[in-house]
């Protein structure tokens, strides 16, 4: 689907009066962009003599963030597919089929949130010790990941609202709240360190 299409086609389709692609797919793309920026930071740190002592740890970050970017890109299309499935499920008026489709949609959104949080962990590590010349890219990458996360939460919550199984809603709502607390803490630390090292770069 979109993973092999041009950026223009994707954005044009996103803007069109069509149900897909929508917010979940865009959230995945935002996450992929954030991860790509962090990947660039890793690539500009590795091989730089000034950062030779941290090259091993940055190489470890690079492996992880590349995988996160690839998974986000897969979800750009997967979210589009699942939304179509949800629309089809509602046409059946079968509660079990609808619940199953909504749960599938929820899990896609949850995956977006989990990937964004994992990416933010890498952001913090890079904010602390990557190539300072790329520190603003760490900050930008963090902002994209934050946007991806909270967009994922919006979509996860709307799917939960349509599900009839109360125990599922209670359990998964708690999962989302825990993830929100975790990424919020990571984001605050990342931006604080990014701002601190931005001052060092200005000197």
Confidence check: pLDDT of 178 > 70: yes
CA distance 139 to 123: 8
Q: Which residues neighbour 125 within 8 Å (Cβ) at sequence distance 6 or greater?
A: 57, 61
Tokens of 146: 């934050």
CA distance 149 to 75: 13
Q: What is the pLDDT of residue 200?
A: 65
User: Are the beta carbons of 60 and 54 closer than 8 angstroms?
Assistant: no
When pLDDT is cut at 50, 70 and 90, the band that residue 201 belongs to is: low
pTM (two decimals): 0.94
Q: Which residues neighbour 109 within 8 Å (Cβ) at sequence distance 6 or greater?
A: 24, 27, 79, 152, 153, 155, 156, 159
Confidence check: pLDDT of 43 > 50: yes
CA distance 152 to 124: 21
Q: What is the pLDDT of residue 202?
A: 47
Q: Which numeric CATH code is attached to 16-202?
A: 1.20.120.680
* Ranges of each domain in the chain: 16-202
Q: What is the average pLDDT across 177-182?
A: 98
Q: What is the pLDDT of residue 198?
A: 84
- Give the DSSP letter string of 102-122: HHHHHHHHHHHHHHHHHHHHH
Specify burial of residue 71 (Cβ count, 10 A radius: 0-12, 13-18, 19+).
buried
Give CA angle at 195 (140, 125), nearest 5°: 70
């Amino acid at each position: 689907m979109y993973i092999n299409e041009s950026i223009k086609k994707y954005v044009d389709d996103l803007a069109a009066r069509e149900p897909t692609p929508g917010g979940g797919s865009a959230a995945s793309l935002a996450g992929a962009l954030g991860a790509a920026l962090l990947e660039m930071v890793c690539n500009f740190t590795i091989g730089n003599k000034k950062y030779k002592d941290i090259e091993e740890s940055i190489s470890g970050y690079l492996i992880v963030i590349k995988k996160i970017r690839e998974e986000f890109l897969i979800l750009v299309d997967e979210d589009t597919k699942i939304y179509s499935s949800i629309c089809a499920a509602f046409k059946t008026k079968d509660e079990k089929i609808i619940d199953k489709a909504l749960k599938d949609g929820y899990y896609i959104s949850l995956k977006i949130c989990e990937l964004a949080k994992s990416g933010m962990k890498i952001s913090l590590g890079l904010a602390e010790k990557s190539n300072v010349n790329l520190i603003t890219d760490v900050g930008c990458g963090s902002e994209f990941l934050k946007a991806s996360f909270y967009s994922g939460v919006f979509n996860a919550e709307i799917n939960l609202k349509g599900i009839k199984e109360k125990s599922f809603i209670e359990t998964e709502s708690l999962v989302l709240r825990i993830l929100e607390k975790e990424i919020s803490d990571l984001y605050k630390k990342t931006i604080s360190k990014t701002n601190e090292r931005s001052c060092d770069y200005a000197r």
